[in-house]
Amino acid sequence: MTARQHQQRFEHLLQQHRGIVFKVAALYSRSVVDRDDLMQEISAQLWRSFGSYDEARAKFSTWTYRIALNVAISQARRARWSDGERFEPLEARHLETVGGGETIAEPDERLTALYAFIGQLDELNRALILLYLEDRSYTEMADVLGISETNVATKISRIKQKLRAQMTGVAVTGA
């Protein structure tokens, strides 16, 4: 494959999976500007790593999630170390458009509460809930995050329990 064909293949695959990059960046960003910067950083890392992508070992979407989440989590940790802050809760305004300019409908109150809840999660649980909301299998989630399927199931159960409690105003014990 020529260098140009390699680049075209990457561009085609990235275009098909731009929603993954957008969603990960939106969940780990404080603002629209931060989101756009993170999308650029993720895309650059995907390109740098594309030579080592092996479609026999993983689907492109799985590989993209793994790299995007690693970049986002690394950047989140650097930002937290440099300014000593936790991320602000995710707000619906961070999800105003999908990478190609597709507008997302105005969120209702429950959706806004869900975004706020997700924004309060630590990096691993935030990544896990993103994959869960994308209907990824436990096997794929475990592969992307480098944890066991049992751990995935346990963490999702605890996140659901906390979310249910937050939405209904009931305290959660031991979670």
pLDDT in tens, 18-74: 999 999 998 888 889 999 999 999 999 999 999 999 999 989 999 999 999 999 988
Look at 14-28, 108-122, 131-145 and tell me which has the smallest mean pLDDT. Answer: 108-122
Domain boundaries, the chain: 3-168
14 has a pLDDT exceeding 90: yes
High-pLDDT (> 70) share of the chain, %: 80
168 has a pLDDT exceeding 50: yes
The per-residue DSSP string of the chain comes to --HHHHHHHHHHHHHHTHHHHHHHHHHT-SSHHHHHHHHHHHHHHHHHHGGG--TTTS-HHHHHHHHHHHHHHHHHHHHHHHH--PPPPP-GGGGSEETTTEEPPPP-HHHHHHHHHHHHS-HHHHHHHHHHHTT--HHHHHHHHTS-HHHHHHHHHHHHHHHHHHHHT------
Q: What's residue 68's pLDDT? A: 95
